[in-house]
Amino acid sequence: MKRELHFQAFKRFYNALGEFLQVLFISKRVYPIAYDKWTKEQVVEILGLPEVYQTLVDLMTMRHFESDELIGKALSLEEMLRRYCENAGR
C-alpha cells in the first residue's frame, strides 16, 4: 500500500467482511444470532457452509500486516460475495 494506511484498510476490510456475512444470511433467508458472535456455529451448522467459514478464518489470518496482502484478501472476499450471494437483493 503506497500510502501506508494499513490500519484504515484493515478496518474497512473487517467492515466489508461483516457486510458479507449480512448479505450471506439475507441471501439464504436466515435470521442470524449475531454477525460477529458464534460465527462458526452459524455459518457451519445453520447455513451448512463449512468451506465459507474456513475461508473467513483464512482471510482474517495476516502474515505481513504492512504489505499488500490485504488487497488479495479483499479480492477473495469479493469473489465469495459473487459466489455465495449472487441472488441477494433480487
Lookup: cell for 90: 433480487
Q: What is the tally of structural domains in the chain?
A: 1
Q: Does residue 90 fall inside a structural domain?
A: no
- The answer to whether residue 19 is domain-embedded is yes
Tell me which residue range forms the domain holding 13.
6-84
pLDDT tens-digit readout, 13-49 = 999 999 999 999 999 999 988 888 899 999 999 999 9
Q: Is residue 26 domain-resident?
A: yes
Give 52-63 as a DSSP string. HHHHHHHHH--S
Q: How far apart are CA 15 and CA 24, in angstroms?
A: 14
| 23 domain residue, yes or no | yes
Kindly report the pTM of this predicted structure.
0.86
Does position 8 have pLDDT exceeding 60, yes or no? Answer: yes
pLDDT recorded at residue 53: 97
Taking only the tens place, the pLDDT of each residue in 42-90 is 999 999 999 999 999 999 999 998 888 999 999 999 999 999 997 665 5
Does a structural domain hold residue 1?
Answer: no
Q: What local confidence, expressed as pLDDT, does residue 90 receive?
A: 55
Does the residue 45 lie in any domain? Answer: yes
In a domain, residue 15? The reply is yes
